[in-house]
């Protein structure tokens, strides 16, 4: 291969290059990606940076349904950046600054592209503030369910975010792979409550309005951030170990929910024995009216329930605090690591409290004919066929069946070591299915898991008789 001889630079070109370098602070960046390439939600999240903290300052007016706010993100660049994207669905953007300086920006769908006055260097920490307002949107998921900003029957609102609804009420890096701490201050008309994640650090009223300030110190994925505004019966207590419990219940469900919610400390004590230390600094629940949403959600610290939950559902959502909220999937393809674990927690609770054993539950699901629970066998739990299937039965029940097959392979002692060790190894982090299968094989050397992985985790159709 021939080479061209290098061209010697002129003095003028050297001086021009030095001048340009000085003007840009020595950084010549490129735009960050407008998505992280999730297999089911490719536009979710963004490349080129990591958010370490969100500071939300919000005000909501129920009479106009209007939300105004400023979200300030503390961000670390993971590459040299000339521009970067934030996810924000709807809302009107008024101003964007980077480290206090006005930045250029434009909108395209859910992408808010920000161009700082100067390029940002890899490893640099900076703060981006977005001022915005409007009536937040309700987002319809691929499976037909609704999330985002949900009006309630009592003229309040619920903000629920799985998988992408959090971008309806604040700009950010809305993918589970980027977790951060949060401060959320919400101002509402006096007499209403504003309930969010973490701990209530301040509540003050002035001029007919009340501001509630919430702090979440542990890393949180944006899809489990929540905000509930409305009329709630608030109950504060502590577990025997001193963990704060904050429960917010719609007054019409207060009496009916009292008995089951009183079991939160008992369930957490049982779960700590099974899964290891509770990963957060507070717990609780939000209970609204039955018709406000069609699903419960494991919002961090404080799971949400549409109506009074039964004990099994309460166990399921509290188990998610370990599996899903602390150990968070790297992509939405790994949803079975959330739902399979939480479903199996229900089986274990029943087994330990006079109900069916996990083996009996497994056998009932497997059935005795090809048509029994046939929806379980439509796809393997680790490979949902599309975004509209990440909450289908194979992800939940067949995911739990994978865990039971592991338990039968290794025995109870090693299995519980695996449950606790997995939660500890990835505490407040992210993991995927390959991480889990490797972890199981490391903790049980010499065992053959090929059948479990090939037939139950990744196999098509109904596996052979166990």
394, 379 Cβ separation under 8 angstroms = yes
If you average pLDDT over residues 338-350, what whole number do you get? 98
Tell me, what's the pLDDT at 14?
37
* Pairing of the two strands 180-189 and 49-61: parallel
pLDDT, mean of residues 49-70:
98
Asked if 391 and 431 touch (Cβ cutoff 8 Å), the reply is no
Spatial contact of 257 and 287, defined as CB atoms under 8 Å apart = yes
Rounded Cα–Cα distance for residues 426 and 177 (Å): 13
Q: Between 412-425 and 399-410, two packed helices, what is the crossing angle to 10 degrees?
A: 120
| Cβ density class 392-425: b for 16+ within 10 Å, e for less | bbbbbbbbbbbbbbbbebbeeebbbebbbbbbee
Sequence-ordered strand ranges (E) for 125-165: 125-134, 138-140, 146-151, 157-160
- Mean pLDDT to the nearest integer, 125-131: 98
CA dihedral (310, 314, 317, 322) positive or negative: negative
- Report yes or no: 166 and 223 within 8 Å, Cβ to Cβ: yes
Separation CA 316–CA 338 (nearest Å): 10
216: left (phi over 0), alpha (psi -120 to 50) or beta: beta
CB 261 within 8 A of CB 282: no
Tell me the whole-structure pTM to 2 decimals.
0.94
Q: Give pLDDT, residue 27.
A: 84
Q: Give the per-residue pLDDT at 391.
A: 97
The rounded distance, in Å, linking the Cα atoms of 341 and 106 is 41
Q: What pLDDT does residue 26 have? A: 72
On the question of pLDDT at 449 being above 70, the answer is yes
Q: How confident is the model at residue 145 (pLDDT cuts 50, 70, 90)?
A: very high
What count of other Cβ atoms lies within 10 Å of the Cβ of residue 269? 13
Cα distance between residue 221 and residue 192, in whole Å: 27
Three-state DSSP state, 455 = helix
- Computed over every residue of the chain, the mean pLDDT equals 94
State CA 105 to chain mean position distance.
27
The residues, any chain, with a CB within 8 Å of residue 338's CB and separated by 6 or more, are 298, 320, 323, 324, 329
Write the pLDDT tens digit of every residue in 202-234: 999 999 999 999 999 999 999 999 999 999 999
Q: What is the DSSP string of 288-326?
A: E-TTS-SS-B--TTS-EEESPPPHHHHHHHHHTTTBTTT
Distance from C-alpha of 213 to C-alpha of 233, rounded to nearest angstrom: 18
Q: What CA–CA distance (Å, rounded) separates 69 from 186?
A: 9
Closest CA to 91 of 174, 169, 172: 169
Residue 369 has what pLDDT? 61
Q: How far is CA 124 from CA 97, 98, 305, in A?
A: 16, 12, 40
Is the backbone of residue 228 left (phi > 0), alpha (psi -120 to 50) or beta? beta
Residue 371 — pLDDT band, cuts 50, 70, 90? Answer: low
Residue appearing with tokens 């039955």: 290
């Amino acid at each position: 291969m021939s080479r061209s001889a290098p061209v010697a630079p002129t003095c003028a070109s050297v001086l021009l290059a030095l001048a340009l370098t000085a003007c840009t602070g020595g950084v010549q960046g490129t735009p960050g990606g407008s998505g992280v390439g999730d297999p089911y939600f490719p536009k979710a999240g963004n490349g080129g940076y990591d958010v370490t903290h969100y500071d939300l300052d919000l005000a909501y007016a129920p009479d106009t349904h209007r939300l105004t706010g400023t979200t300030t993100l503390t961000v670390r660049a993971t590459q040299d950046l000339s521009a970067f994207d934030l996810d924000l669905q709807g809302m009107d953007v008024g101003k964007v600054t980077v480290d206090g300086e006005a930045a250029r920006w434009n909108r395209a769908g859910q992408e808010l592209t920000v161009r700082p006055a100067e390029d940002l260097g890899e490893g640099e920490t900076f703060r981006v503030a977005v001022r915005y307002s409007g009536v937040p949107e309700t987002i319809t998921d691929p499976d037909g369910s609704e999330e985002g900003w949900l009006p309630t029957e009592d003229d309040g609102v619920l903000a629920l975010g799985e998988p992408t609804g959090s971008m309806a009420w604040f700009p950010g890096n809305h993918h589970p792979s980027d977790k951060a701490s949060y401060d959320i201050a919400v101002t509402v008309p006096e007499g209403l409550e504003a309930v969010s994640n973490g701990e209530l650090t301040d509540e003050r009223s002035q001029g007919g309005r009340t501001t509630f300030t919430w702090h979440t110190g542990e890393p949180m994925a944006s899809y489990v951030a929540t905000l509930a505004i409305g009329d709630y019966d608030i109950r504060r207590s502590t577990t025997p170990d001193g963990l704060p419990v904050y429960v917010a219940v719609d007054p019409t469900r207060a009496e009916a929910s009292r008995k089951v919610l009183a079991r939160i400390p008992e369930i957490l004590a049982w779960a700590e024995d099974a899964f290891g230390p509770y990963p957060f600094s507070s717990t609780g629940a939000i209970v609204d009216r039955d018709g406000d949403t069609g699903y419960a959600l494991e919002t961090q610290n404080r799971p949400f329930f549409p109506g009074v939950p039964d004990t099994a559902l309460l166990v399921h959502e509290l188990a998610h605090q370990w599996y899903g909220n602390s150990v968070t999937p790297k992509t939405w393809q790994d949803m079975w690591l959330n739902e399979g674990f939480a479903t199996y927690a229900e089986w274990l609770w029943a087994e330990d409290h006079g109900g069916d054993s996990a083996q009996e539950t497994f056998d009932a699901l497997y059935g005795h004919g090809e048509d029994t629970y046939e929806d379980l066998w439509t796809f393997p739990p680790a490979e949902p066929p599309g975004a509209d299937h990440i909450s289908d039965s194979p992800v939940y029940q067949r995911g739990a069946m994978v865990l039971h097959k592991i338990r039968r392979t290794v025995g109870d002692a090693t299995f519980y070591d695996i449950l606790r060790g997995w939660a500890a190894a990835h505490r407040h982090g992210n993991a995927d299915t390959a991480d889990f299968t490797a972890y199981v094989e490391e903790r049980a050397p010499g065992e053959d898991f090929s059948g479990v992985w090939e037939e139950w985790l990744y196999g098509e159709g109904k596996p052979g008789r166990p």
